[in-house]
Amino acid sequence: MSNIVLNATTYVGEGIQNGVTNFINRSAGLLSGFSSLVGRVRNQNKRVEVRWNLAVPVLVADDSPCGCAGEVRFISYAEVSIKFDQRADAAHRTDVYGRLLDLITSTQFESSVKDLQPPV
């Protein structure tokens, strides 16, 4: 099982269960702070769905009125879902992949995530 590095954070492959591959980053040291990455490819009804889900919890650092150290302050979720017709060939899937790469590296996408600005 391989590992995946996202923004210098290593997610360790945990295995595949029911067609779903799980990766975990345990660097927070507490179970509540573990960040998960899940990937799957599912064939169903003439469609193929590729789905990735990322969960990134943020823990309270120190005891304060906001909570006790180690409690989950909030969790951010990212989901990527791509649905192909089963007839989509490798060239088409490669084209869609390239367009997604360009999307996430675009200034519009960056501003929408980092600055919460609508795409313009």
Structural domain harbouring 36: 3-86
Query: Could you tell me if 81 and 29 lie in one domain?
Result: yes
Check whether residue 19 and residue 77 sit in a common domain.
yes
Tell me, yes or no, whether 68 and 100 share the same domain.
no
Predicted pLDDT of residue 69:
86
Looking at the 3D structure of the chain, how many domains does it have?
2
Lateral strand order in the sheet of 72-85: 3-6, 9-17, 20-25, 35-44, 47-59, 72-85
The pLDDT of residue 8? 97
Give me the pLDDT at residue 61, please.
Answer: 84
Q: Are residues 106 and 69 in the same domain?
A: no
Q: Do 18 and 59 have their domain in common?
A: yes
What is the reported pLDDT for 70? 86
Cα separation, 24 vs 37, whole angstroms: 6
> Are both 76 and 43 inside the same structural domain?
yes
Residues 111 and 58 in one domain: no
What is residue 1's predicted lDDT score, i.e. its pLDDT? 83
Q: Which long-range contacts (CB under 8 A, 24 or more apart) does 40-43 make?
A: 43/86
pLDDT of residue 65: 84
Low-confidence ranges of the chain (pLDDT < 70): none
58 and 114 inside one domain: no
Could you tell me if 26 and 78 lie in one domain?
yes
In this structure, the answer to whether residues 113 and 57 fall within a common structural domain is: no
